[in-house]
Structure 1
Amino acid sequence: MRNYKHLRVSPTYFIVISLFYSTCLFAQQNNKQANSQNDFWEKVQFGGGIGLGFGSGYTDISLAPSAIYNFNQYVALGLGAQYKYLKQKDFYASHLYGASIIGLLNPIQEIQISAELEQLRVNVNLDGTRSNSQNFWNTALFIGAGYRSGYATVGARYNILSDRNSIYGSAFMPFVRVYF
């Protein structure tokens, strides 16, 4: 049996070794945290729409930014904001603003199915009188499908909550959706 009494290990040696290993462990932990944050932003896509329409005494300007988070290649969920200004000369001016939640399902790469809940505040000022101005909330629930290629999806959606008082001219609407 060997005698190890002549080997003495100084406390400094233990401190240096402990610091070395703890630094390695913290570095690995910080790397995992940084990677998880990077993984989150790699799955986020930004997009939306911009619209401009001008005619004889008519103006239509809209801005609708949105962002989605891709849980995997099949499912994404996102939020959007919307602002729209409409004006018909000598008749009315309207401001619409609000938010939406969108869910996307891609059963195959080329097909996209969507459900979008939209809540808009509508402010309509009729020209010539303030007493006929209207302020109300409009809720829409769109179910849609489209063909997807690259960053863009072209399709149609249907507002299942549509009635004769809806702010939209029709319950059925085409769309172009782009996310980068």
Structure 2
Amino acid sequence: MKKGIISLVLLISGLAFSQILVGTTQQDNNRWTFGGGIGLGFGSQSSFYLQASPRVGYRLTNDLEAGVVGSVSWQTSNYYRSTMFGIGPFANYYIARSFYVGANLQHYFINYKDKYYDYKVNEEETALYLGGGYMQRIGNNSYMQIGVMYNVLWKENSSVFSSGLIPNIGFVMGL
């Protein structure tokens, strides 16, 4: 199942990217968008974090976009190792190409191993992120998005996530 989801996300991303490169000379005729974000972190106890979240969207109107976003992350330290895959739909509404509000439904597949206690967990969790932020133009039809999302399905004692609040920075081409 996980390999199929990863393959689907890569296929959709590749098709969207090729549409952007091969698209028509008039930007208004190309309604496909492509983007995402990456993350990298280091910490104590030899901890390491790597995350990638590609997204493919389609502009339904000049201000409304919908599409699919994927997520994959790897975390490791002296005490644990985890891998998480997520996929789901998203929608963004753009306000004067300076601000956005959005919704993102993600279904996660989580594989966690505690190295100290030799404890393994395979779980699934669904998150519904609502939020918004600021957009900065960085190119012709490219933007950097800086915002905050909140997982309205988050529950303190039953979630694998430590908080429902998620700051995010990402990029989108094709707007």
Q: 1:110 aligns with which of 71, 74, 98?
A: 98
Q: 2:153 aligns with which of 154, 161, 168?
A: 161
User: Could you tell me which amino acid in structure 2 is paired with residue 166 of structure 1?
Assistant: S
The aligned counterpart of 2:75 is 86
Partner SS for 1:179: strand
1:38-68, Cα deviation, whole Å (9 max, x unpaired): 5898111111111111123101011111111
Relative to the length of structure 2, the TM-score reads: 0.74
Unaligned runs of 5+ in 2: 1-22, 138-142
Structure whose alpha-carbon radius of gyration is higher: 1
Structure (1/2) with the larger strand percentage: 2
Which of structures 1 and 2 has the larger relative contact order (alpha carbons within 8 angstroms, sep 6+)? 2
Q: Alignment identity in percent?
A: 25
Q: 1:172 aligns with which of 149, 162, 165?
A: 165
CA distance in 2, matches of 1:140, 1:157: 11
Q: 1:96 aligns with which of 72, 84, 87?
A: 84
Structure (1/2) with the larger helix percentage: 1
Q: 1:149 aligns with which of 116, 123, 136?
A: 136
Relative to the length of structure 1, the TM-score reads: 0.72
Deviation at 1:129, TM superposition (A): 4.7
Of stretches 113-122 and 144-153 in structure 1, the one that deviates more from structure 2 is 144-153
